[in-house]
Structure 1
Amino acid sequence: MSSFRTIELSDPNFENSGLRFLTVKTPNLKGRGDICLYVPNVIDSITDLPIYILLHGVYGSAWVWAMKGGAHVTAKQLMESGKIRPAIIAMPSDGLWGDGSGYLAHQSQDFAQWIVTDVPKAIRENISCTSEKSKVCIGGLSMGGYGALKLGAEFPEVFSAISAHSAITKFSEMSFFVEEALESYQLCDAENDVIDVIKRNLKDLPAIRFDCGKSDELIAGNRLIHQQLDSFGIAHSYEEFEGGHQWAYWQKHVESSFRFFDGKVY
């Protein structure tokens, strides 16, 4: 029996490039949520492929990691060359609140639980090569990097690894991008900076890596988180590369997320 009142899964006869689309209705969103999936071809007996969740940034939705970032193309190339082992690439929407939900729990909708609970459950119930044994990793860019770091640190029992690109690290940095006043988020939890969550879970964190472009307006916050993690003695990987807050950067560096996840779940 399904955990969701309604489900729509794309028809394989009309899918392309290994991409599938799944829509479920959930109380956490008080409506429907979309998930774009890359599902590799594997033998029927495989039922525990890991799930790598990629969170998008502001203005986007479930399609952008694939249709602007080519994440499924990169994943397929890495899998076919043997550089990473097969995995499901899950690219959910953020819930489509305003310019970006922040993947946070607002008073009326819980965009965090949509990602943490609903997305893995929907995939396990509808994609046959996954099961309760499927390990889950979380990554993302910009607002999605913020979501990955925050949710990964907050729910270490769910996620095996975290990878972020060009991440927002303080909730106040959302104001750089969104039209909505930050007060309109009506947050249930007042401490929503990445470091706040990490400090609450210092002894139980997933594996962490993150990177940022040297020309990115968010570089200062990423450097600060790196310094803070060092000061707490938390093992992590942080890298800086040439580039700014743009798709050309994320298209190139999403490979680092896939390689990192592969090394943590197999």
Structure 2
Amino acid sequence: MLLPPDHAISNRRYAVLTLLHGLSDTFMCWLDYTNLRRYVSELRLIVVMPQCGRSFYINTVDGQRVEDFVADDLRTFIDSHYATLGTRASRAIGGISMGGYGALMLALRYRQVWAAAFSHSGAIGAPRWVEDPPNVGVFGPLGSAVRREHDLFQLIEYTDGPLPRIHMDCGIDDFLVDENRAFHRTLQNHNIPHIYREHPGGHSWRYCDENLPSSLDWACHQLEGNCDPELDDLTVIAPPAD
């Protein structure tokens, strides 16, 4: 986690951003491969970075309850132990690659939890991938209910609750750019407001770092509680050792 330095002594309550890592990454990649600390040092914002393996952030068919953990257990823990505003309007979620897919999927499935979601280089079509054996352990066989229930193209059809605000970007040379474009077109066809941008670059943390500031700025403008650009330091809270 990253906490504003006055979190322990201030009467202020904060908005919360959850950041999700990619398939071959850990939560530490946000700190090792981007300038996240510096970017959020100017924001009054609690940043949570869970470690979720190669789960695609769902309750997998092989028994991992990652979706429940992120959408319920982690959220409840953060709200009960830290000075959060604790409302939908004060929560955003974002991610890179697998985490970009996860951020959009969770925000669309749990519309009462997150007001805004952003994706860098998102693995938008992951539930539709058929030539990726590890995916079977996550989503089950092609055509499974789990795949349908976590398909972004299906989730936007749901009408229960307000849609989250959506921000997406992808590198022009990214191998995932076509599925990002397809989802952008689908959102357009459904008249769903969103931001979609393409920038030079491929599928890399360098690309993410170059475009992360604009996503953070966008997210803060969506949230109540305001992320005031006044603070210049953060406290890093490491997870407990096993």
Q: TM-score, normalised by structure 1?
A: 0.75
Residues 1:69 and 2:34 aligned together: yes
Q: Give 2:97's aligned residue.
A: 142
Query: Alignment partner of 1:199: what SS?
Result: coil
Query: After the TM superposition, which segments of 4 or more aligned residues of structure 1 sit over 4 Å from their partners?
Result: 172-176
**C-alpha contact (below 8 Å) 2:111/2:161 kept by paired residues:** no
Q: Give 1:216's aligned residue.
A: 174
**C-alpha contact (below 8 Å) 2:94/2:100 kept by paired residues:** yes
Query: Alignment partner of 1:234: what SS?
Result: coil
**C-alpha contact (below 8 Å) 2:60/2:137 kept by paired residues:** no
Shift of 1:109: 2.1
Report the residue type matching 1:149 in the other structure: L
**C-alpha contact (below 8 Å) 1:54/1:139 kept by paired residues:** yes
Residues 1:169 and 2:133 aligned together: no
Q: Deviations over 1:75-111 (max 9, x none)?
A: 11xx1xxxxx4001111111x2xxx111011242221
Q: Give 2:2's aligned residue.
A: 38
CA RMSD of superposed structures (Å): 2.1
Q: Deviations over 1:119-139 (max 9, x none)?
A: 222222222x32534821000
Structure 2, unaligned stretches of length 5 or more? Answer: 225-242
Higher strand proportion (structure 1 or 2): 1
Between stretches 240-249 and 102-111, larger displacement belongs to 102-111
1:248 to 188, 198, 206: 206
Q: Give 1:181's aligned residue.
A: 134
1:234 to 182, 192, 202: 192
Cα distance, 1:114–1:203 mapped onto 2, change above 3 Å? closer
**C-alpha contact (below 8 Å) 1:212/1:239 kept by paired residues:** yes
Query: Alignment partner of 2:193: what SS?
Result: coil
Shift of 1:71: 1.5
Q: Give 1:101's aligned residue.
A: 55
Between stretches 159-168 and 102-111, larger displacement belongs to 102-111
Q: Give 1:154's aligned residue.
A: 109
Shift of 1:173: 6.5
Distance 1:75 1:175 in 2: 38
**C-alpha contact (below 8 Å) 2:127/2:147 kept by paired residues:** no
- Matched positions, count: 216
Query: Alignment partner of 1:72: what SS?
Result: helix
Distance 1:186 1:223 in 2: 23
Query: Alignment partner of 2:112: what SS?
Result: coil
